[in-house]
Amino acid sequence: MESTTCLIAGGGPAGMILGLLLARAGIDVTVLEKHGDFLRDFRGDTVHPTTLELLDELGLREEFTKLPQRRLNSVAVPIGGHMRTLATFEHIPGRFKYIAMVPQWDLLDLLAQAADTEPTFRLRMSTEAIDLLREGGRIAGVRYRTEAGATGEIRADLTVACDGRTSTLRNAAGLRVRDRPTPFDVWWTRIPRNGTDPAGAVPVLTADRVAIMLDRGDYWQCAILIAKGSDSTVRHREPVTDIVRQMAAAVPWLADRVDAVRSWDEVKLLEVKLDRLERWHREGLLCLGDAAHAMSPVGGVGINLAVQDAVAAARILAPKLISGHLEESDLARVQRRRGMATTVVQGMQRVAHARVIAPAVSGKVNVSNFDDMPLALRVFRRIPVLRSLPPYLVARGVRAEHAPEFARRPVPPAPKVTKSR
Ligand SMILES: Cc1cc2nc3c(=O)[nH]c(=O)nc-3n(C[C@H](O)[C@H](O)[C@H](O)COP(=O)(O)OP(=O)(O)OC[C@H]3O[C@@H](n4cnc5c(N)ncnc54)[C@H](O)[C@@H]3O)c2cc1C
């Protein structure tokens, strides 16, 4: 049987950051990722100021700046023919006063390359964790299956479930989940992007549609919000071309591509979940990121939260893994450290669901006049102290985590620019 010190199931933001940090502490780490690459559409694209600071601390700034990216300095929504700024990041504390929009597969590739230079790091793609190994009452590793159908077992001192919101491992462990109802699901589709379009992210609010368009260079990745469970009644009954046509009512520059989405096959359904484990751990097992607390896409905060979980876990657990004295109380410390941040951010998402998204997806909002917008939006926009709160929570979260000393690397000096004569 194979063995490792820390087995991480899932190569998303939580799993890759944890793998990189533990490997930099010299700990033997194996990450299993069920897909053959990171190139999947459904991932969000936001890299928040606290993650940008972390990348700096890890010495990855230079590689990161080479990735294709846009900067989101503020969020404005077209209402009644005017762009209304809902949030601006220019006043938040810290060095980075913007959110970087980077295709998530590029970020994950960067983390994988950085981790690959560490001799104790192993990433096994196309390998799915399918069950937990148990030894007495303790979790002792995982059973896996490769894409080719081979199965095997890996023993580990610690198993970390970073396998996302449908986590196989948290289900296998029988951990209790507190589910929160959500009023919406998401249709995920693409619209071509022209060079003259604005850059960054464009929220869309019309009488028929609520959507957000994410700039991915030559196309817009569009998240179209629909009432929870309504996909099966609407799909195939309404013309698919209505989607972009209705968005163009608020975004006039889409008028030249209203037939961009021609088939329902181009429109994927993503079910939105919001939940949280009561206990993130069992002896030998810890859940992090969406596996511990599935996040709604509202505010685009789930990636940052998953990254921050991983940083806190690496800092608390690395010394214990090195000394061989890891106990369940150490895993509980990770939950104590990250639990409050999760509760606050999910609370913010629940308020936005109830006060803004539910009325918007049920068509109860008059989009032609800002004064008819949901009260929560009006209050937050008009009272200066409140206006700065959502951008702060979105951009920095509640408890920013910094790279532990063992994981830090100097930023390579910028190349000297020699003056031409
Ligand atoms: C429609 C939608 C849009 C979103 N947009 C944004 C956004 O713009 N910004 C933002 O911050 N958040 C967004 N979120 C939330 C965000 O996607 C998650 O909070 C975040 O990805 C959590 O990171 P993670 O590493 O915990 O899990 P994930 O990113 O889900 O990664 C889990 C990884 O584990 C792999 N995996 C799964 N099962 C197994 C297994 N059994 N064995 C091995 N590997 C496995 C998966 O392939 C995946 O690579 C969005 C969510 C939704 C639903």
- For 106-163, the pLDDT digits (tens) are 999 999 999 999 999 999 999 999 999 999 999 999 999 999 999 999 999 999 999 9
Q: Is 9 in the pocket of ligand 1 (CB under 6 A)?
A: yes
Ligand 1: nearest atom to the Cα of 303: 11
Q: The tokens 């549609």 sit on which residue? A: 209
User: Residues 312, 401: contact at Cβ < 8 Å?
Assistant: yes
| pLDDT beyond 70 at 414 | no
How far away, in angstroms, is 297 Cα from ligand 1 center? 10
Top pLDDT among 93 and 367 is at: 93
Q: Please state the φ and ψ torsions of residue 178, each to the nearest 5 degrees.
A: -100, 110
Please tell me the residue having the least CA distance from ligand 1 atom 3. 297
Ligand 1: nearest atom to the Cα of 290: 26
| pLDDT beyond 60 at 386 | no
| pLDDT beyond 60 at 54 | yes
> For residue 413, what pLDDT is reported?
65
Ligand 1: nearest atom to the Cα of 35: 47
Measured between its terminal Cα atoms, the distance across the chain in Å is 65
The model's confidence at residue 325, banded by pLDDT at 50, 70 and 90, is very high
- Comparing 223-232, 327-336, 394-403, the range with the smallest average pLDDT is 394-403
Top pLDDT among 240 and 396 is at: 240
Provide the sign of the torsion angle of the four alpha carbons 129, 273, 213, 68, taken in this order.
negative
- Please report, as a single letter, which amino acid is at residue 46: T
| pLDDT beyond 80 at 338 | yes
- Mean pLDDT across 27-46: 89
Give the separation between CA 213 and CA 220, rounded to whole angstroms: 6
Q: Is 306 in the pocket of ligand 1 (CB under 6 A)?
A: yes
- Please report, as a single letter, which amino acid is at residue 416: K
Give the separation between CA 174 and CA 172, rounded to whole angstroms: 5
The percent of residues above 90 in pLDDT, for the chain, comes to 67
- Mean pLDDT across 311-330: 98
Ligand 1: nearest atom to the Cα of 296: 51
How far away, in angstroms, is 12 Cα from ligand 1 center? 6
Q: What is the pLDDT of residues 193-218, one digit of tens each?
A: 998 988 888 888 887 788 999 888 89
Ligand 1: nearest atom to the Cα of 169: 41
- Mean pLDDT across 358-365: 79
Q: What is the best residue among 163, 187, 210, 301 to mutate for testing ligand 1's pocket, by most ligand atoms within 8 Å of CB?
A: 163
How far away, in angstroms, is 310 Cα from ligand 1 center? 14
How far away, in angstroms, is 204 Cα from ligand 1 center? 24
Q: Is 309 in the pocket of ligand 1 (CB under 6 A)?
A: no
Q: What is the best residue among 43, 70, 153, 225 to mutate for testing ligand 1's pocket, by most ligand atoms within 8 Å of CB?
A: 43
Q: Please state the φ and ψ torsions of residue 156, each to the nearest 5 degrees.
A: -150, 145
The model's confidence at residue 70, banded by pLDDT at 50, 70 and 90, is confident
The model's confidence at residue 359, banded by pLDDT at 50, 70 and 90, is confident
Q: Which helix (H) or strand (E) holds 261?
A: none
How far away, in angstroms, is 253 Cα from ligand 1 center? 31
How far away, in angstroms, is 302 Cα from ligand 1 center? 8
> For residue 74, what pLDDT is reported?
82
| pLDDT beyond 80 at 411 | no
The percent of residues above 70 in pLDDT, for the chain, comes to 90
> For residue 59, what pLDDT is reported?
97
> For residue 127, what pLDDT is reported?
98
- Mean pLDDT across 255-282: 95
Please tell me the residue having the least CA distance from ligand 1 atom 5. 44
Ligand 1: nearest atom to the Cα of 127: 43
Please enumerate in sequence order all residues whose Cβ is within 8 A of that of 395, keeping only pairs 6 or more positions apart, or say none.
48, 49, 50, 89, 92, 99
The model's confidence at residue 395, banded by pLDDT at 50, 70 and 90, is confident
- Mean pLDDT across 9-22: 98
> For residue 45, what pLDDT is reported?
85
- Mean pLDDT across 210-238: 90
Q: Is 183 in the pocket of ligand 1 (CB under 6 A)?
A: no
Give the separation between CA 334 and CA 287, rounded to whole angstroms: 10
Ligand 1: nearest atom to the Cα of 163: 34
> For residue 203, what pLDDT is reported?
87
Q: Is 186 in the pocket of ligand 1 (CB under 6 A)?
A: yes
- Mean pLDDT across 77-82: 68
How far away, in angstroms, is 99 Cα from ligand 1 center? 18
> For residue 366, what pLDDT is reported?
64
> For residue 389, what pLDDT is reported?
72
Q: Is 215 in the pocket of ligand 1 (CB under 6 A)?
A: no
User: Residues 213, 220: contact at Cβ < 8 Å?
Assistant: yes
